[in-house]
């Protein structure tokens, strides 16, 4: 498997051996950080110089993953990442800490002249979104949110189909993050709070919009010819968390009665400046298999991820009947995937390998990040904006224009 990974990473990164090595640090080496590190540590042209985590046991587990790189370890408290950032031998940091740290760490990294790649979401508040943009524009240091679903093979093939005009003019999208995270992520399997539980207690919003929105931004040329204008959001009441604890641990468990601010399902409707709409669902606390329910619809037809099907007027053989997506994926496969040996053992079926390869390639060649920061903050701003809309009974709330008007003239770039 190591050899396959090495080969596939090498194929994904057709760089000359002369390109400088990317000197990387990882901050936050829990589950996600360790997974990213596993992929990074096997990539050619990557030198893992430092790792940082407040939890020494997480750091030790991560160190064994990158043992060949002999990284220096930083574990002297929650601000020790600052000491790591003061090193003069780092090109970039990968941030996989808890949500509340992402923006602060990415901003501090840019101020220290280090390229920042943050796990999702990159910001929790609108203030953090603007601080990220302001710091990025002032320092000119690249910064990227690691939204891996933008890089998924099916999503990139759909992007190619849209760019070739098969779906006509874009009109509408549907997307969701439907992932039951109650028994292993918000809480541990014994029912104890993990750090994300705090967010279920204190706020009611779309807590995790970026996986749903990632491909939608590129499909709809958001921030590149179109822009999110307003969002209206509504939340159901919370029943799922209490029901889970009562079912699993008995009705006397404190969390079986506790008041959580977060509703079970949040449905948002985004309107764009060019008159398009996007429905976004948050759905992370009811029992269900994983789902994203992507659907993208244009004047010539539509793609439905759930059905794995398309219907294209004048092209699909039968009137108003779906046809399978698989032949379209094969015909419109993205070059990022056809030049890479997909490895199902790499994170998320090879998607994380592709995402990190494109990030490392940009670090080594000093080229723009594959996903720009304007897209990262636009996706993340849905957390704060949906919360505002819900609190005001579902009224439309305007999106800030993080591009400061540039969306009108910026050209599509992702995967071009
Ligand atoms: N893109 C994806 O597919 C994907 C998948 C899973 C998680 N994530 C994201 O990754 C992030 C991490 O999630 P996780 O599940 O790995 O959580 P985790 O709790 O397993 O890991 C977080 C780690 O950060 C450490 N940490 C906390 N404060 C720190 C600080 N100040 N300095 C350094 N380290 C600190 C913790 O000790 C822990 O080891 C989250 O933002 C999550 O949303 C993304």
The dotted CATH code for 2-149 is 3.40.50.720
Distance from C-alpha of 316 to C-alpha of 39, rounded to nearest angstrom:
40
Distance from C-alpha of 151 to C-alpha of 274, rounded to nearest angstrom:
25
Task: Convert the pLDDT of each residue in 362-416 to its tens digit.
Answer: 999 999 999 999 999 999 999 999 999 999 999 999 999 999 999 999 999 999 9
pTM for this model (two decimals): 0.95
Report how far ligand 1's centroid is from the alpha carbon of 169 (Å): 39
Phi, psi of 327, rounded to the nearest 5 degrees = -65, -30
- Domain spans in the chain, listed from the N-terminal domain onward: 2-149, 150-334+373-408
Q: Is the link from the previous residue into 314 a cis peptide, with omega within 30 of 0?
A: no
**SS3 state of residue 182:** helix
Q: Which residues line ligand 1 (CB under 6 A)?
A: 27-33, 52-55, 58, 78, 81, 96-99, 101, 119-120, 146, 148, 195
Phi, psi of 67, rounded to the nearest 5 degrees = -60, -35
From 26, 27, 29, 30, mutation site for ligand 1 pocket: most ligand atoms within 8 A of C-beta: 30
Distance from C-alpha of 114 to C-alpha of 107, rounded to nearest angstrom:
10
Hey, whose CA ends up nearest to atom 5 of ligand 1?
32
What is 150-334+373-408's CATH superfamily? Dihydrodipicolinate Reductase; domain 2 (3.30.360.10)
Tokens for 84, please give them: 């790591």
**Are 79 and 87 a contacting pair, CB within 8 Å?**
no
**SS3 state of residue 286:** coil
Distance from C-alpha of 62 to C-alpha of 56, rounded to nearest angstrom:
10
Which ligand 1 atom is nearest residue 79's CA? 31
Which ligand 1 atom is nearest residue 102's CA? 41
Using CB atoms within 10 Å of the CB of residue 308, give its burial: 0 to 12 exposed, 13 to 18 middle, 19+ buried. middle
Task: Convert the pLDDT of each residue in 105-154 to its tens digit.
Answer: 999 999 999 999 999 999 999 999 999 999 999 999 999 999 999 999 99
| Summary count for the chain: helices (H), strands (E) | 14, 15
Task: Convert the pLDDT of each residue in 269-285 to its tens digit.
Answer: 999 999 999 999 999 99
Report how far ligand 1's centroid is from the alpha carbon of 33 (Å): 6
């Amino acid at each position: 498997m190591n050899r396959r990974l090495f080969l596939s990473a090498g194929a994904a990164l057709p760089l000359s051996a002369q390109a400088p090595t990317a000197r990387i640090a990882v901050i936050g080496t829990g589950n996600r950080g360790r997974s990213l590190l596993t992929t990074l540590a096997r990539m050619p042209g990557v030198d893992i110089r430092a790792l940082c985590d407040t939890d020494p046991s997480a750091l030790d587990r991560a160190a064994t993953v990158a043992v060949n790189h002999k990284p220096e370890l930083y574990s002297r408290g929650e601000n020790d990442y600052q000491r790591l950032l003061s090193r003069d031998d780092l090109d970039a940091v990968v941030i996989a800490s808890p949500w509340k740290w992402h923006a602060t760490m990415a901003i501090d990294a840019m101020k220290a002249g280090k390229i920042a790649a943050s796990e999702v979401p990159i910001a929790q508040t609108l203030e953090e979104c603007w601080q990220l943009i302001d710091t990025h524009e002032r320092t000119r240091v690249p910064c990227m949110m690691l939204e891996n679903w933008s890089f998924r093979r099916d999503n990139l093939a759909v992007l190619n189909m849209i760019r070739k005009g098969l779906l006509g003019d874009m009109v509408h999208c549907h997307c969701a993050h439907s992932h039951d995270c109650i028994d292993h992520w918000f809480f541990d399997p014994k029912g104890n709070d993990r750090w994300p539980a705090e967010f279920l207690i204190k706020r009611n919003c779309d807590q995790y919009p970026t996986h749903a929105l990632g491909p939608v931004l590129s499909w709809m040329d958001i921030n590149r010819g179109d822009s999110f204008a307003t969002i209206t959001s509504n939340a159901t009441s919370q029943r799922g968390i209490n029901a889970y604890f009562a079912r699993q641990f008995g009705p006397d468990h404190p969390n079986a009665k506790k008041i959580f601010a977060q509703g079970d399902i949040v449905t948002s409707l985004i309107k764009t400046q060019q008159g398009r709409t996007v429905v976004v669902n948050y759905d992370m606390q009811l029992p269900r298999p994983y789902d994203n329910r992507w659907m993208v619809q244009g004047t010539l037809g539509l793609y439905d991820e759930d059905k794995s099907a398309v219907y294209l007027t004048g092209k699909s053989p039968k009137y108003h009947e779906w046809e399978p997506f698989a032949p379209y994926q094969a015909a419109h496969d993205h070059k990022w995937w056809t030049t890479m040996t997909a490895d199902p053992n790499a994170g998320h079926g090879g998607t994380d390998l592709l995402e990190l390869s494109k990030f490392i390639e940009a670090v080594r060649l000093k080229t723009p990040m594959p996903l720009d920061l304007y897209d990262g903050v636009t996706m993340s701003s849905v957390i704060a904006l949906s919360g505002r809309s819900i609190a005001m009974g579902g009224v439309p709330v305007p999106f800030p224009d993080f591009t400061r008007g540039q969306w009108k003239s910026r050209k599509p770039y992702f995967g071009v």
